[in-house]
Amino acid sequence: MNLSVIILAAGQGTRMRSALPKVLHPLGGKPLLAHVIDTAGALGAGAVYVVYGHGGEQVRDALPEAQVTWVEQADQLGTGHAVDQVMPLLGDEQIALVLYGDVPLITGATLAPMIEQAGEGALSVLTAKLDDPTGYGRIIRSANGHVVDIVEQKDAGDEQLRIREINTGFLAVPAKLLRGWLTRLDNRNAQGEYYLTDIIAMAVDDGVPVKSVQAQDTDEVLGVNDRVQLAHLERVCQRRRAEALMRAGVTLADPARLDVRGDVQAGIDSFIDVNAVFEGEVVLGEGVRIGPNCVIRNATLGDGVEVFANSVIDSARIGNACRIGPFARIRPDTELAERVHIGNFVEVKKSRIAAGSKVNHLSYIGDTHMGAKVNVGAGTITCNYDGANKHLTEIGDDVFIGSDTQLVAPVKVGDGATIGAGTTVTRDVPAGKLTLSRTQQKTIGGWSRPVKKPG
């Protein structure tokens, strides 16, 4: 089937009270419009067209990699006018599916039956039944249950306003039929706009079958007009993602206190405590434990990794059975081999640490290649930045580094070396030997601590 998707994204979104275009507000870590584009792509559409408003270059610039054709609607004259901007680009043999950039949770499973109906020559509309249909156009059906019209809220009479079945705005139709109906639209209505929904009555008059699909999950068809509605859909989105993780074999301490702002793949028997935030692409192995208040971003964690409370892992690879935190920060381009321990208040940046090494307390390891079975004492730092350039520290296997050591890069520490506590290393350290740079301890007699003068 030759499917083309038209996404309407030209609305100003004044009720958002924001300088950011409405369709760029984030939901689950990506713009509202990006969700709809992804859904369109998953349907196998031959082309995806996004209709954006005057001055909406910000929308285009925000999604530079989107596989879409951008179509400007210079004047916002209604949904019918917006769709008409795309028609010169569509062939008569195509099926047109109309989606909305501010309705992000629509699924391909709901849209598929509509596309199938349109492929059989019908006009297919998506409806839903709401307890409170205020603000939506109402579905008007004949005595035998067929859709015969859609009446917008502001044009509806009292009896029509009591109808709970609403028009979601989504429709699928052969492009040849749509083209003809759009030329017949007028703006004689309360809004003074060209309503796309007016084509329903035209289809009935022309004897074209009007079929409907009813959304089973009403959250799929809810749009975003203000930040309250955005917050509601954010919770819906997070609930869906939490349920997917639990079905995959992950235990969540509280599904309501989880934020997935990207995509998480997790192995069985993993555990995620409260207030964990996942951003970007995250992969968790089997038996991973994530403590409370952790942030994991664009990272891969191997089997059996334990991340203790209040830790941050960003753009890093963590090997099997590592232990991280609490209050640890793993920065980009870090790779930890298996069984590495990174303890409380430790920061690691752009470093490789081999198997079994430990940096357990109050240390900074940056631009470092560290060997296996190294023990780094508390308060140790690699001085990797000279004010202009970053330099590498290389530490061999089985090295013991005493507390409060400074390694002034570039410097190399040989295998099996021991560095005494309080040492400042400015030259390469030979393998298998003790290196230290302490001054001799002295006690000075007859000295008195200064005392403040009275008053």
Active-site residue list: 361
In Å, what is the CA distance from 28 to each residue of 94, 272, 388? 33, 18, 38
Neighbours of 159 (CB within 10 A): 8
Angle between helix axes 32-42 and 108-119 (nearest 10 degrees) is 50
Cα gap 256→250, rounded to integer Å: 14
Q: Let me know: does 333 contact 347? Beta carbons within 8 Å.
A: no
Give how far the C-alpha of residue 322 lies from the chain's centroid of Cα atoms, to the nearest Å: 26
> Which residues have CB under 8 Å from 322's CB, separation 6+?
301, 302, 305, 306, 336, 338, 339, 340, 341, 342
Cα gap 219→106, rounded to integer Å: 8
Closest Cα partner for 36 from 46, 22, 47, 50?
Answer: 50
Cα gap 211→148, rounded to integer Å: 10
Cα gap 421→436, rounded to integer Å: 7
Q: If phi over 0 gives left and psi between -120 and 50 gives alpha, with beta otherwise, what is residue 193?
A: beta
Residue 366, Cβ density class (10 Å: 0-12 exposed, 13-18 middle, ≥19 buried): buried
Q: Give me the helices (H) in 93-152, please.
A: 108-119
Longest CA span, the chain: 110
Cα gap 229→83, rounded to integer Å: 25
Residue whose structure tokens are 């307390």: 361
HSE, CB side, 13 Å, CA atoms: give it for residue 210. 27
User: Is 308 strand, coil or helix?
Assistant: coil
Strands 418-419 vs 375-376: parallel, antiparallel or unpaired: unpaired
User: Is 276 strand, coil or helix?
Assistant: strand
Neighbours of 324 (CB within 10 A): 29
